[in-house]
Amino acid sequence: MRAFLKLRDRGFARYAFAALLLLAPLVSFAQGIPAVTVSTAPGGGQQYSLTLQILMLMTAVTLLPGIVLMMTSFTRIVIVLAILRQALGAGQAPPNQVLIGLSLFLTLFVMGPVIDRINTEAVQPYMAGTMDATTAMQAGAVPLKRFMLDQTRESDIATFVRISGGDGFDKPEDVPLRILVPAFATSELKSAFQIGFLIFIPFVIIDLVVASVLMSMGMMMLSPVLISLPFKLMLFVLVDGWGLIMGTLAASFYT
C-alpha cells in the first residue's frame, strides 16, 4: 500500500511539474501585459489599456445574445414565424432550428444598413486609431438608436418615461438606452402580434369551413384538422406564402 502511495505521489509530482512548464510562457507573457490603466488620449478622450479592452470585449460578447434579441428586428421576425407555424397546424414543421435560422438571416438583411453605418462611423475609425474606445462606442450606438426610434411607438416611450419618473426629452435622440430598449421591445411585441393576427385569419376561416362541412355530413368523429391541413398547405403554397411573409416582414421595418 505504501509503495502504491509513493508511486501515485511521484506521478502527481510529474504532472504538476509538466503543468508548470506549460504555464511558464503564459505567466511571462502576462507579466508583459500592462495593468488595467486608463490614460488621456490626444483628442481629449480616454484610452484604455489592452487588458481592459480585452475585458470589455469579452463582456460585450456575453451580452451579444441579449443585444440581438432586444435591440434588433429578430424579436418581431421570430414571433411572426412561430405564429405562422401555429396557424398552419403542421406540428413542428418547419422545426425550431429552421425558424431561428430564417430569423437570424432575415435580421442580418434588415439590419444591414445599420451594421454598415456602425462599421463606417465607429469600427473603422477605432481600428485605424483615429478614435478612442469611448467615442467609438458612442458613435456606434447612434445608428442603432435611430433604428429603434423609427420602430418604437411614442406611447411606449412615454410609458417608460413616466414609470422612470422623468419629465420627457426635447428630442427623440435624447432618449437613453435604458428607456429606449424596453420601449422598443414592447413595440416589437405589439407589431409581431398584429401581423400574426392578420396571418391567422385565413387559416381560421379554412378550419371553420371544414368543421362546418364535416358536421353537416355527420362525420363528427373525424378530426377537422386532419382534413383542413392539406387545404391550408395548398393555399399557402399557391399564394407564395413564404415570399409574401418574408417580404412583408422585411418591408415592415422601412415603412
In a domain, 202, yes or no: yes
Angle at 85 between CA 82 and CA 88, to 5 degrees: 150
pTM exceeding the 0.75 threshold for the entire prediction: no
pLDDT recorded at residue 7: 38
Maximum separation of any 2 CA atoms in the chain, in Å? 89
Cβ distance 231 to 244 under 8 Å?
Answer: no
Q: Which residues of the chain have a pLDDT value below 70?
A: 1-68, 220, 222, 255
Quick check: is 27 in a domain? no
Residue 52 confidence (pLDDT):
62
Q: Under a CB-based contact definition with an 8 Å cutoff, are residues 253 and 73 in contact? A: yes
Identify the burial level of 195 via C-beta atoms within 10 angstroms of its C-beta, where 0-12 means exposed, 13-18 middle and 19 or more buried: buried
Is residue 240 in a domain?
A: yes
With a CB cutoff of 8 Å and minimum separation 6, the contacts of 34 are 49, 50, 51
Single-letter residue type at 84 = L
What pLDDT, on the 0 to 100 scale, is given for residue 64?
A: 65
C-alpha cell, 130: 483615429
Determine, yes or no, domain membership for 43. no
What's the domain range around 87?
65-251
Q: Residue 206: inside a domain, yes or no?
A: yes
Residue 230 placed within a domain: yes
Place of cell 411572426: 80
Angle formed by the axes of helices 50-70 and 177-216, nearest 10°: 30
DSSP character for 131? Answer: S
> How many domains is the chain built from?
1
For 128, how many CA atoms within 13 A lie in the half-sphere containing its CB?
Answer: 9
6 domain residue, yes or no? no
Q: Is position 78 within any domain?
A: yes
